[in-house]
Structures are given as structure tokens and as C-alpha cells.
Chains A and B, each alone.
Chain A
């Protein structure tokens, strides 16, 4: 999942906050202060649909759009991406601990079991 442009994320957060699917006209009305053209909004919605951000459904002659992923899922995937692309050693974000392999995890459990008296576990 890639990052969104400014207008795309404005549209996405509008749809995330909306109660149900919206049409291009409704999106345009909600973003009225941006002074957008109807075709611009329609294009952005179509692009977001093509990029699998939105689901759409046709009722009569009108398309209704709704988000495919929840905003929290999107945030989580952005977080994973940010942590993954961050340089190493990391200066952008300081992570508590890196993931380890299964073998290492087993070693680690052994180490802790040996070190911890049973009543403390």
C-alpha cells in the first residue's frame, strides 16, 4: 500500500469519517472550500478505486464509493512501512526491539527459563 497524495488523503479521510458510501457529488460538496471541479473529484475517486483503496457500487447511473480498508488498518500498514524502510541503525524512529528468528526466539526462552526462578514467572 503506497502513500497518498494530499487530495487523495483528504478524500480518503472524508470517506473514512462518512457514515456510508458517498457519490462524487457528495465528496465534492464536502470539499467545497477547496474549489475543486467535479471531474477532478471523479478522477481522484476512480484512481483510488483502481489503486484498491475504494470499493464502488452503481445505483442507477451513480457510483457510490466506500473505503476498502479501515483507517486504522491503513495507519498500521503505514507504521509497518515506516519501520521497515527506516535506515539501519535507525535514527528516524527508535524501535524497542527488532524481530528475531524462530531459533533465536527459542534460545531466548531457554535463557530466560534458566535465569528466572519458577515462582517469579
Chain B
């Protein structure tokens, strides 16, 4: 079990730093097949978190005497005792490992909750303020909401009450076929639940911004879901058409027809040129070195296997000696057991 633990720790350290390089080495394949890229950029950061948690929990279980999940709970109590000043130096490493894992879990949970609440509030405000005065039209079998605004804009609101929103400026400035391409793009986001991928990347990056692999995840994921939706719109309406729709929409607010330019949003450095280039350049088969791809595919699978291997004994370990030691009222517990190491 210990070599596995060491392996997982090594993975966590190595991929925290080198993961982005490995994934950028597969850039060609991701560009050709964004779905594959999406899988990689979801699986690798996730496997990293899983590996770190597995190391922490398994180390706790081992250091606390190999007594399994019950041992974990016991170690938890002892960790509290350590904090409260009960001195038992043997318990300190286990307590530290456990506290580390719990900190990671709590941090993830807090960030996820905060993000979900933020998104929910924003979408609710949108529903109350914007949706109330929108008209809805049927277009190509889809329900589209129209906001009366000269600025061309198109977006989708994911979630339970999902919607595709276009402005009247979009309808005025874009030929009908390009409008259809735009709605197909947005529909692809909604159907593929792309917001969940980006949200998961955002949660990881917000929770642990000092890990390079996690920090770069949300931007990569955001780019990949755009590519994916572009491809789906391109398959249906032609890639050149999607490219032209992108160009018209992106340049829209600078045209004299719309008096209010949007100040925000321009700062992040746009990926519009890259998206357009990708749509109009001839589609190539994936090329480039093979080994980064196989490494990127194998790593999360190995991590999952290793995690199962280290945590399974911890979960299924027989906690009997510990239980006996922990429950004084039962007659059997009165005699000391060899596995018991707790402070008495």
C-alpha cells in the first residue's frame, strides 16, 4: 500500500506543476477534437484533487494503525484531542493528514456553494428583470427570447429554466442563416451542459489558485466548450457561415448603429480571432507526438485505480478492535485489545 501512496503523492506533485505542459503538448489533438480536450481538462484536474484526498485519507488510516474508516473517525477524535492539548506525539502525523484532507474538502464545498449561489442569484435577477419584458419566438423549432436592444448580443442562460436570448440588434444585423447558426451554437451549450464543465473548472481554480494545473483549467475549458459549440453549429450550417456570424457579432458594438459600446468584457483578451481561424482553416487530422496524449489519458485512469487500491482496505478494514476499545459499556470491551492505541 505504501508504494501506491508514494506514487499518488508523486503524481500530485508532478501534475500540479507539469500538468498544464502535458496538456498543452496535446493541443493539436484538442483543437481537432474539442470533446477529447474537454474530457482531458476535466479528468486531469479532477484526478489531481482525488489523488490528493486519497493520499490524505489513506495516510490517516495507515498512520492511525490501519484500522479503516472507523480508524479514521477515531483519528478524527484524536486529532481534536491533539488540538485540545492531549499530548500523544504518535498521533500528530495522522491528525495532520486528516486535517489536510478535511480542509481541502471544506474549501471545495464552500467555493462550490458560493459559486452556485452567485450563479443562481444572477440568473434569478435576469429572469425577473430581463425575461419579464422579453418576447419569445419560435425559430427553427427552438424557443428564442428576444430583448429589445440595438447592441448585437446572443447568449444562453443555462439551468433548469434555460433560455437562448438574442437582441433585436442581432436580428437586424445578421442574415437569417447566421442567426440560425448562432442559436445552434447556443443550443449546443445548453444540450451539452457546458456550463457545468466551466463551473467545475472555476470551482477548482478558485479553491486552489496556487496549483498551476487547476488555475489554467477554467480558461481552457471555456475555450474548449466554445470550440465544441462552434463545431456543432458548423456541421449544421457550414463552418464559414459560423465564422462570419462570429465576426459580425464580435465587431457589432463598434458599428455606428449602436450608440452604447460595452466597456466591460473587452479586457480579457479575446479568443475570437482564434475561433474564426479554427473555423475557416482546413480541418486537419490530429497530429503531433503521441506520448503526451497517452500519458494524459492514462494518468487519470491510473489515479482512479490507485485511489481504489489505497482506500478500499481503509474502508473495509475490520474496525473490531477499535470498536471494542471505544465502547466501554459492552462487557467485551473491558479487556484491552492489542490494536488499541488511543490515549487512555
Contact = CB atoms under 8 A, between A and B. Distances in A.
Interface in A58-110: 71-76, 78-80, 82-102, 104-105, 107-109
A116 to B, nearest CB: 6
A23 B273 CA distance: 54
Contacts of B78: none
Interface string B108-136: 00000001001100110110111011100
Interface in B194-237: 194-195, 198-199, 201-202, 218-219, 221-222, 225
Interface residues of B, number: 68
A91 B189 CA distance: 11
Interface residues of A, number: 44
Nearest to A80: B262
A89 B123 CA distance: 16
B132 A75 contact: yes
Classify the secondary structure of A's interface with B: helix
B280 interface: yes
Interface stretch (B45-53, B54-62, B89-97, B249-257): B249-257
Contacts of A94: 155-156, 158, 186, 189, 194-195, 198, 225
B280 A75 contact: no
Nearest to B163: A93
B12 interface: no
A116 B276 CA distance: 12
A13 B153 CA distance: 25
A104 B253 CA distance: 13
A108 B280 CA distance: 11
Contact of B165 (A3, A79, A88, A108): A79
| The 8 nearest A-B residue pairs measured at CB | A89-B222, A76-B149, A72-B148, A84-B264, A105-B251, A78-B129, A96-B154, A115-B280
Interface of A: 3-4, 9, 13, 71-76, 78-80, 82-102, 104-105, 107-109, 111-112, 115-116, 120
Interface of B: 115, 118-119, 122-123, 125-126, 128-130, 132-134, 147-149, 151, 153-158, 165, 167, 182, 185-186, 189, 194-195, 198-199, 201-202, 218-219, 221-222, 225, 240, 243-247, 249-254, 260-266, 268, 270-273, 275-277, 280
Given A78-B130, A108-B272, 14 more contacts: A3-B125, A75-B147, A78-B129, A87-B202, A90-B198, A93-B157, A94-B189, A94-B198, A95-B154, A98-B265, A100-B250, A100-B251, A109-B247, A111-B277
